[in-house]
Amino acid sequence: MIIPVRFRRKRAGRLEKVVYAKDTKWPFQIANQTPKIFAVNINYGEKIMSTQKPTSYLLLTFLIGACCCLAQTQAKGKPKTQYQVSDLPSLGGTSSGGNSINDQSWVSGYSRMADRNRHATLWRNSVLTDLHTLGGPNSSVTWNVKNTAGIIVGISQTATTPEPNGENWSSAAFYSTPNNAGYINLGFVWQNNQMRGLPPFPGGNNGFATGANNLGQVVGWAENGVHDPTCCCADTPGHQVLQFRPAVWTLGPPDQIHDLPLIPGDTSGAATAINDNGQIVGISGICDQAVGRRTAKHAVLWENGGVTDIGNLGAQWWNTPTAINQHGDVVGFAGDPAFVEGEILHAFIWTKDNGIKALKPLRGRVPEHVDSEAYGINEAQQVVGVSCDADQNDCRAVIWDHGVYPTDLNDPDLKGDYSSFLASAKDINNKGEITGRAIDSNTGALVAYLAVP
């Protein structure tokens, strides 16, 4: 299937290398709370109008100069938003991550258990709820779920093994070894303390749910019964066999699946996020290796029954929207023309008025940061994600706050005395609260965190 967002196998493997190259895991340690500092936005640049005669030009010039100096002084002294960062409890293993936060401050993601299997996890008021599975060993919430009516969606292995076609499916990259493959996987809905599976298309076995809005709609992708000749890598164990299409489930009972149109000429695709206006974003391409790449040939927007290619940054691969806000602003990452395998990606924001624009990585890092990926956006157009060097040895949680260049959330002025390293920022809500993964400075474990401004 597809695997947008650093869920590409190769990149996911490199992430593990970053963590375990030093025998570390990825964690998070609670920090002492710090005072809240609220940033004040000051708008400068208003025109100074004058009806004075030429004799007052000197005074006008003086006033302009004084205003400019004041603006520069105040801009330099503008306080940064400081966050109270805390870690979230785990299921006892060494890896947890927050991948979604809604406007109720519900954080969802995954937590690994002592046996290395991971379960989809919900944190409410920092209290952990194990969402369990559909019968298999693993489950996870992997994308932004913005529903505020008590619905969480994600992926889960079922008890059915082996997978009939020997496919690893898109979900394998989101689970830990050794049980990450070999099972039928379905998208799930968790509601009223119960998890249920969502049906794939007729003839297919596997599905994947990514997002849910407040209109009873869930999006993702699922297999149908077509043996797609554009699937590649037949000599690779676990390769994709069946075609998969972008899906919308209308929640019931019964839950019903509907497909979304692809760009003409494409055969496979996926929906990754949906808002309360029914706008959906995702990817359109071919089956390929079913892990991004040419499956993500086109970054697309579905609305009013049609599909629109929202563009790219010069490459025909890895073009993956990850989130959409209620205004229809879209963020994600795009491929680089020189890196077909997705070693280097570029964060983007797309708006109806301005089209697709690149969001740059951090400046001034050594080694130089060349990779950026955007994962979440709120209504204020604050965008969160990650910035990395070429080898993925230095990846940092960042926020783009109405600028092309981001701010490192590890800046002491932002995270206060929180001691762990913020490795990724996966989502942000309309309160400005952020979740993601951190690395515990003492144990090296991966831990889910919550950052509250």
**β-sheet with 407-408: strand ranges across:** 369-377, 382-389, 395-401, 407-408
pLDDT in tens, 118-138: 999 999 999 999 999 999 999
C-alpha–C-alpha distance, residues 316 and 293, integer Å: 8
Of 50-64, 93-107, 240-254, 386-400, which range is least confident?
Answer: 50-64
Calculate the alpha carbon distances from 332 to 124, 262, 271 in Å.
Answer: 27, 19, 13
pLDDT at 44 over 60: no
| Domain limits, the chain | 9-41+78-452
3-state secondary structure 215-265: CCEEEEEEEEEEECCCECCCCCCCCCCEEEEEEEEECCCCCEEEECCCCCC
Query: Collapsing DSSP states into helix, strand and coil, what is residue 155?
Result: strand
| Local confidence band at 11 (pLDDT 50, 70, 90 cut-offs) | very low
Query: What confidence tens digit (pLDDT) does each residue in 313-370 have?
Result: 999 999 999 999 999 999 999 999 999 999 999 999 999 999 999 999 999 999 999 9
Cβ-contact 215, 276 below 8 angstroms: yes
pLDDT higher than threshold 80 for residue 17: no
Pick the CATH number of 9-41+78-452 from 1.20.1630.10, 3.20.20.70, 1.10.20.60, 2.120.10.30: 2.120.10.30
CA distance 280 to 146: 13
Q: Tell me the C-alpha distance between 377 and 205, whole Å.
A: 32
Q: Which amino acid appears at position 360 of this protein?
A: K
What pLDDT, on the 0 to 100 scale, is given for residue 37?
29
**Interatomic CA distance for residues 174 and 194, integer angstroms:** 22
Q: Which residues contact 90 (CB under 8 A, 6 or more apart)?
A: 96, 111, 112, 128, 447, 448
Dmax over CA atoms of the chain, in Å, equals: 89
**What pLDDT does 292 receive?**
86
Residue-level pLDDT at 76: 40
The residues, ordered by sequence, that sit 6+ positions from 66 with a Cβ below 8 Å of its Cβ are: none
- The Cα-based distances of 448 to 210, 271, 340 in angstroms read 19, 25, 31
Tokens of 27: 């964690």
∠ CA 208-210-212, nearest 5°, is 125
- Quote the tokens at residue 123: 């944190």
Q: Is the pTM of this model over 0.75?
A: yes
No. of helices (H) and no. of strands (E), the chain: 3, 28
Structure tokens at 400: 């783009």
pLDDT digits 0-9 by tens, 135-187: 999 999 999 999 999 999 999 999 999 999 999 999 999 999 999 999 999 99
Q: Give Cα separations from 200 to 66, 176, 255, 376 (angstroms).
A: 66, 24, 11, 27
The pLDDT value given to residue 69: 42
- For 270-310, write each residue's pLDDT tens digit: 999 999 999 999 999 999 988 789 999 999 999 999 999 99
Phi, psi of 405 (to 5 degrees): -100, 145
Mean confidence (pLDDT) of the chain:
86
Q: Confidence class of residue 430 from pLDDT cuts 50, 70 and 90?
A: very high
Tokens matching residue 65: 């100069």
Please list the residues that pair with 28 across neighbouring strands. Answer: none
Residue in 375, 372, 377, 378 with CA at minimum distance from that of residue 394: 372
**Mean pLDDT, to the nearest integer, of 196-216?**
98
pLDDT of 126: 94
